[in-house]
């Protein structure tokens, strides 16, 4: 399976969650997105639908950058 780049994660999430579009780049910490609990659920659902990966709240850490999130998604896909 191919590794997902941070750019791919970002572009796919921008398509799914256009309200986050201006805020996203690979060095953006997740907490800087100002996500409330509903936004977080929406983002986790988008990740599941886009990448066929389920992330627990423990794997979705607010201090992570988007590049870290991309690596987490890629590693979980490799395990599938």
Per the rule left: phi > 0, alpha: psi between -120 and 50, beta: everything else, 61 is beta
Q: pTM of this prediction?
A: 0.75
CA-to-CA dists, residue 15 to 1, 36, 57, 75, 80, angstroms: 23, 19, 22, 22, 24
Q: Are 33 and 20 in contact (CB under 8 A)?
A: yes
Domains of the chain: 6-79 (1.10.1200)
> For the segment 27-76, what is each residue's pLDDT rounded down to a tens digit?
888 888 787 888 888 888 888 998 889 988 778 876 788 888 888 888 88
Identify the residue with better confidence: 64 or 22.
64
Q: Quick one: pLDDT band at residue 2, thresholds 50, 70, 90?
A: low
């Amino acid at each position: 399976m191919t590794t997902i780049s941070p750019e791919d994660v970002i572009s796919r999430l921008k398509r799914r969650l256009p309200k986050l579009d201006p805020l996203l780049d690979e060095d953006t910490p997740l907490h800087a997105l100002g996500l409330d609990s509903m936004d977080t659920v929406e983002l986790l659902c988008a990740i599941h639908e886009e990448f066929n990966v389920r992330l627990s709240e423990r794997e979705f850490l607010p201090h992570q950058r988007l590049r870290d999130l991309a690596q987490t998604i890629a590693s979980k896909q490799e395990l599938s």
